[in-house]
Structure 1
Amino acid sequence: MKYERLFSKGRIGKLELKNRIVMPAMGTNFAASTGEASDEIIRYYEERAKGGCGLIITEITRIDDETGVGISNQLSVTSGKHIPRLVKLADAIHRHDSKIFIQLHHPGRQTYGRLLNGKQIVAPSPIACKVIGEMPRELTTAECEALVKKFVTGAVIAKTAGIDGVEIHAAHGYLINQFISPYTNKRTDKYGGNFFNRMRFVTEIIQGIRFACGKDFPISVRISANEFIEGGLTLEDSVKIARYLESLGIDAINVSCGTYESGHTIIEPSYIPEGWKKDLAKTIKANVKIPVIAVNNIKHPEVAEALLEEGVSDFVGIGRGHLADPAWANKAKYGQEKLLRKCIGCLNCFKVLNSGRPVECTVNPLLGREAFLGDDKLVKDGNGRTVAVIGGGPGGMQAAYVLAKRGFKVVLFEKEASLGGTMKMADKAHHKQLITELIETQTAELEALGVEIRLNTEANVEMVKELNPYGVIVAVGGTPIIPNIPGIDSPNVCTAEDVLAGKVELKGKNIAVIGGGSTGLETAELLARDNRVTVIEMMNDVGTNLYPSVRALLLKRLNEAGVEIITDHYLESVKVGKIGLRVTSTAFEVEREVDAVVLALGVKPRREIVSHFEEAFDKVTCVGDVVKPGLIGDAIKEANDKAFVF
């Protein structure tokens, strides 16, 4: 498919862009602790420029070291010392005919005191964010004026370094958004009260940047067109805001939505469809003449093209899509959609980032590690030597992919009729089509590299010996955990894997799903279509391995489906028509009537298979659940790293 609109040139102010693809700001924790652009963050952004993105907007970039820390290792423009490394960043982007904006940011009340060396967080008004849970101190008028100057200073530093423009972050519930919104601004000085006073803070920033950087230096402002909270900004409010901002002479508006208190509208889980919020940008665009950039949970190039054709926006923001695949743009442009690794909406990226670690991606093990694990660092010493990969799940496929790129002749054995491993069960839950597409993409990658794939073949030592391999990668996954308790072998007991694989069909039953992890919850949701379902979990909460918004939406759907959740209980026995449970905290015994039991207790490594190969071959490496049970991303990352040095 040709994407004529997506790859047409565009302009923001006097700046020409080679296409309509924008990588919006996303926090990474890749910067140096000093706030300078590290080698890792420069290479990270350069890979996206090399991959064809027209405009890259950096992560939230700090303008104030005292109260403006958003993440621990955050790109900064607070001092001239940051200029030399920003020059290197700008040069790296420009080498690939792409452009770059610095996003100027202050978190206001949406940060933590621990990031400010224990100081109290600040905001326009002393109103705590329900997600953060810390009461902010109200900024004085003088402090507001000083912060305006710091935003302007940040823009001057960016321009001095050769950055093409700046974006003012006035969205997502951060400081400027807090000034604009009546939900968070209860001030009585010149920065609060009526519309123009609430807009005064961002107005002074824009005017200051225009004065210091000149009329031709592009300024974009990112706004939340709807905060999706009671008492917050609505689309009607934001139309007025957008038109006012345009009157100040800005060059583009970047339309997003939400705050931390409506976080799932900012970073959407897999359950939320592509383009769901297009009316926000379309309405803004209809009311202004300057270009509109908009994010819309876009995964597929055809969706991006359709949004441009519909006139939703002038530029499309592809955020997590660029985390998943830095070559998103080029793969779309050159008809390589089958090789495009799409974001699966698991939100592991933000779960890791919120823990204080550098951002990671389930489907892209190179994210942030391009500087030392990129293709240019691969030692291509395979020389046609044969390597056997046992198991065609996510880990096995990733290992085969890396080994093939290194020049090995890879033979992959898979006992089932198709590749995918446990992903073929994970994609059976609601809204998991993107996992199916990940399987298809990994399969296409192997085919493109000429990997020999032997399906319906359960490899054994003798079979592999016939290949006379240089080495063996064992990626056979794990086996479901079956507790050794009375009645566990009853005919009414099965595993979640049996249900998801379609080996067992349950209808009109009273079912107990044992295990409240993601697999148990998703299996319960699937079963709730035709059954009465109860989830039993031994811990005091369920879904704890999920990102908060993913968990919240899943629990909401389970509640709507009538699924009962019982925590602090574990399975002790299975009897005819009932199960025996024990209360974890008190050891009290209880019984519950059920027709069927579905076990979702995780998996354990298949060590017996590993030992056979270790005894027969000198060079054996194990990856994935066969080593330690984990998530899809764990298997892909481990397989990638071990194949890199195999």
Structure 2
Amino acid sequence: MPTTPLLFQSFQMRGVVARNRVVISPMCQYTAHDGHLEDWHLVNLGRFAIGGAGIVFTEATAVQKQGRITHGCPGLWDDSQIPGHARIAQFVSRHGAIPAIQLGHAGRKASMQRPWFGNGPLNAEDFARGDMPWTPVAPSAIPVADGWPVPQDMSLADIQTLIADYVSATRRALAAGYKLIEIHGAHGYLVHSFLSPISNTRTDAYGGDLQGRMRLALEIAQAVRAALPDDIPLAFRTSAVDGMPEGWQLDDTVVLSRALKDLGVDIVDCSSGGIAGGATSARGAKRQPGFQVPYAERVRHEAEIPTIAVGLITHPEQAEAILTSGQADLIAIAREALVDPMWTLHAAQSLGHDTDFSTWPQQSGWWLAVRAQNSEFYDPDTPPAT
């Protein structure tokens, strides 16, 4: 009997079992209204569950209103936002995937344009559309780049309020039915900006040396873990490197991951970059297939915690090789899933795990099985039968 590819073996975290190792990574859609999810989000995320993924993440969701990246970003700072999330969690669950959510705060990258309007600070054209700016917050009053708004440095009271809001958003996520929570600590957003010495020049307990800069991330993780039932897993997304010599380094990520593990974090999602540019930009990073996989591998082995590999993983054979070589435990697919929402099901066929459409939803699988058996496909070199 052929061995099931590792990509299609189940994976357990606490009381949650994913049917396979494919994760749909959080991808911002910039289409929410006052933090509320819409039909677009349900259809967009629902197709990935139908497409066979094991875990489906809702996009970065703000724990505070001023923590949104743009006016189009969703939130869980108010109970009125729970029903929209519940529709998604219920649909994803019904179709066999684990509904997951990434909770975050944009920090000094808040109050931005939607990307199709420029992906920079809000300007007069945005104001005319009704997208008015607000003052972002950060560990220190250092803007992302020249021309960006100078953020307000957070007080100790602000930090305590933020932690409490993470807990409140976590409870709302549980009420909505999510089975995996991820803290967004990457891409230059608030938690990452506390970690990086490029953006954090504080001299109090939340700045200075590595332990001080890690304090906020660890306090949020501890508070969120305490708010979760024992059977619900907790993930943390990190930018493993800033991609700048003076910034956050992979050695730092290993130290952070060990500390997160001690606090009950179950898996580390290893991305990179974003501290001084676009959400996932890293200066000097070579954007080759699987360019971030070595980060997941090192964290997995040196911090002894499961990891998610993400970043230009596009082919089933590539994903399987990452898993079988022990570089990561889960594979996150993002833009490739936008190209092919059925990526997971096609991967099953490519790896010989599904030869008869048996893993497809019944509503479409039976049609495709019949077509494969009976259809005469068009061949431009063969004249039609007479």
TM bucket (normalised to shorter chain) is 0.7 to 0.9
Q: Which has the larger radius of gyration?
A: 1
The one-letter code sitting in structure 2 at the alignment partner of 1:15 is V
Residue 9 of structure 1 aligns with an amino acid whose one-letter code is S
- 1:20-68 per-position Cα deviation (integer Å, ceiling 9, x unaligned): 111111111233x132221111111110001010001111111111x21
Shift of residue 451, structure 1, vs aligned partner: 4.5
Counterpart of 1:199 in 2: which secondary structure?
Answer: helix
1:78 aligns with 2:77: yes
Q: How far apart are the structure 1 equivalents of 2:146 and 2:41? A: 28
CA distance, structure 2, for counterparts of residue 47 and residue 324 of structure 1? 12
Conservation of the 8 A alpha-carbon contact between 1:179 and 1:201: yes
- 8 Å Cα contact 1:281/1:312 also seen in 2: yes
Cα distance, 1:202 vs structure 2 = 1.7
Quote how far apart the aligned CAs of 1:185 are. 0.9
User: What is residue 28 of structure 2 aligned with on the other side?
Assistant: 27
Contact in 1 for aligned 2:49/2:95 (Cα 8 Å):
yes
| Mapping for residues 273-312 of structure 1, pairs under 5 Å | 273-312=288-327
Alpha-carbon distance between aligned partners in 2 of 1:201 and 1:55, rounded to the nearest angstrom: 27
State the alpha-carbon separation in 2 of the partners of residues 63 and 103 from structure 1.
Answer: 10
Question: Which gives a bigger RCO, structure 1 or 2 (Cα 8 Å, sep 6+)?
Answer: 2
Any unmatched runs of 5+ in structure 2? 113-120, 353-362
Normalised TM-score (structure 1)? 0.50
The 3-state SS of whatever aligns with 1:109 is helix
Aligned partner of 1:6 in structure 2 is 7
Tell me the SS of whatever aligns to 2:241: coil
Residue 140 of structure 2, aligned match among 125, 128, 135: 125
Amino acid in the other structure paired with 1:259: G
Other-structure match for 2:348: 333
Cα distance in 2 for partners of 1:287, 1:34 equals 42
Displacement of 1:259 in angstroms is 1.0
Question: Runs of 4 or more off by more than 6 Å in structure 1?
Answer: none
Partner residue in 1 for 2:358: none
CA distance in 2 between counterparts of 1:91 and 1:131 reads 44
Q: 1:80 to 1:265 in 2, by over 3 A?
A: closer
Deviations 1:87-120 (A, max 9, x none): 1111100111100111001111123364883322
Q: In the TM superposition, what whole-angstrom CA distance separates every residue of 1:167-191 from its partner, at most 9, and x where no partner exists?
A: 0000111100011112211112222
Q: Does the Cα contact within 8 Å between 1:229 and 1:261 map onto a contact in 2?
A: no
After superposition, the Cα gap between the structure-2 partners of 1:17 and 1:324, relative to the gap in structure 1 and judged at 3 Å, is same
Does structure 2 conserve the Cα–Cα contact (< 8 Å) formed by 1:110 and 1:132?
no
Which one-letter code corresponds to 2:161 in the other structure? A
Query: SS of 1:284's equivalent?
Result: helix
Native 8 Å contact 1:131 1:260 kept in 2? no
User: Where do 1:142-221 residues align within 5 Å?
Assistant: 142-221=157-236
Q: Which amino acid aligns with 2:236?
A: V
Q: 1:336 to 1:248 in 2, by over 3 A?
A: closer
Instruction: Return the letter of the residue paired with 1:7.
Output: F
Instruction: Give the aligned partner of residue 49 of structure 1.
Output: 49
Residue aligning to 1:462: none
Give distance in 1, aligned partners of 2:150 and 2:99: 35
Task: Work out the CA distance in 1 between the residues paired with 2:263 and 2:235.
Answer: 11
Contact 2:23 2:332 in 1 (8 A): yes
Matched with 2:117 is none
Residues 264-302 of structure 1, C-alpha deviation per residue, up to 9 Å, x if partnerless?
96599xx83212232211111112333211103111111
The 3 A distance-change label for structure 1 pair 264 and 216 is closer
Describe the superposition over 1:187-211 as per-residue Cα deviations: whole angstroms up to 9, x where unpaired.
Answer: 1222212322222212221222222
**What letter is aligned with 1:180?**
L
Out of 285, 309, 317, the position equivalent to 2:332 is 317
Distance 1:158 1:265 in 2: 25
Give the structure 2 partner of residue 95 of structure 1: 94
Paired residue for 2:360?
Answer: none
Judge conservation of contact 1:227–1:262 (CA < 8 Å) in 2. no
Shift of 1:13: 2.5
> Structure 1: how far apart are the matches of 2:376 and 2:287?
34
The letter for the 2-side match of 1:137 is Q
Specify the code of the residue in structure 1 equivalent to 2:313.
I
Query: Could you tell me how far apart the structure 2 residues matched to 1:218 and 1:30 are?
Result: 28
1:286 is aligned with what amino acid?
A: H
Structure 2 distance, partners of 1:336, 1:47, is 21
CA apart distance, 1:449: 8.2
Aligned partners of 2:139 and 2:194 also within 8 Å = yes
Matched, 1:223 2:223: no
Q: What is aligned with 2:104?
A: 105
Q: CA 1:35/1:120 → structure 2, altered by over 3 Å: closer, same or farther?
A: closer
CA RMSD, Structure 1 to Structure 2 (Å): 2.7
Say if 1:252 and 1:291, in contact at 8 Å, map to a contact too: yes
* Cα separation, 1, equivalents of 2:277 and 2:295: 16
Cα distance in 1 between the residues matched to 2:268 and 2:330: 10
Q: 1:241 to 1:449 in 2, by over 3 A?
A: farther
Are the aligned partners of 2:243 and 2:282 in contact in 1 as well (CA < 8 Å)? no
Task: Identify which of 258, 263, 274 aligns with 1:248.
Answer: 263
For 1:64, the equivalent position in structure 2 comes to 64
The amino acid across from 2:34 in the alignment is T
1:167 is paired with a residue whose SS is strand
Distance 1:272 1:194, change over 3 A: closer
Q: Is the 8 A contact 1:3 1:302 kept in 2?
A: no
CA distance in 2, matches of 1:170, 1:449: 52
Measure the CA separation in 2 of the matches of 1:324 and 1:188.
46
Residues 61 and 68, structure 2, Cα contact 8 Å, conserved in 1: no
The 3-state SS of whatever aligns with 1:6 is helix
Matched letter for residue 12 of structure 2: R
Once residues 265 and 3 of structure 1 are traced to their aligned partners in structure 2, the CA distance between those partners, rounded to angstroms, is 33
Residues 449, 194 of structure 1: CA spacing in aligned structure 2 closer, same or farther, 3 A cutoff? Answer: farther
Q: Residue 35 of structure 2 aligns to which amino acid in structure 1?
A: G
Mapped pair 1:16 → 2:17: yes
SS in 2 for 1:22: strand
User: What secondary structure does 1:169 align onto?
Assistant: strand
User: CA 1:143–1:265 in structure 2 vs 1: closer, same or farther (change >3 Å)?
Assistant: closer
Give secondary structure in 1 for the equivalent of 2:320. Answer: helix
For 1:569, the equivalent position in structure 2 comes to: none
In proportion to residue count, which structure has more strand? 1
**1:22 and 1:316 in contact (8 A); partners too:** yes
- The 1:124/1:199 distance shift into structure 2, 3 A limit, reads same
Q: Where in structure 2 are the equivalents of 1:602-617 lying within 5 Å? A: none
Distance 1:48 1:195, change over 3 A: same
Please state whether the residue corresponding to 1:93 is helix, strand or coil: helix
Q: What TM-score results when the alignment is normalised by the length of structure 2?
A: 0.82
Structure 1 pair 169–449 and aligned structure 2 pair: CA distance change class (3 A): farther
The whole-number CA distance in structure 1 between the counterparts of 2:168 and 2:279 is: 33
- Separation in 1, partners of 2:280, 2:133: 30
1:216 deviation in Å? 2.5
- Rounded Cα–Cα distance in structure 1 between residues aligned with 2:339 and 2:282: 14
Structure 2 partner of 1:138: 153
Deviation (angstroms), 1:157 = 0.3
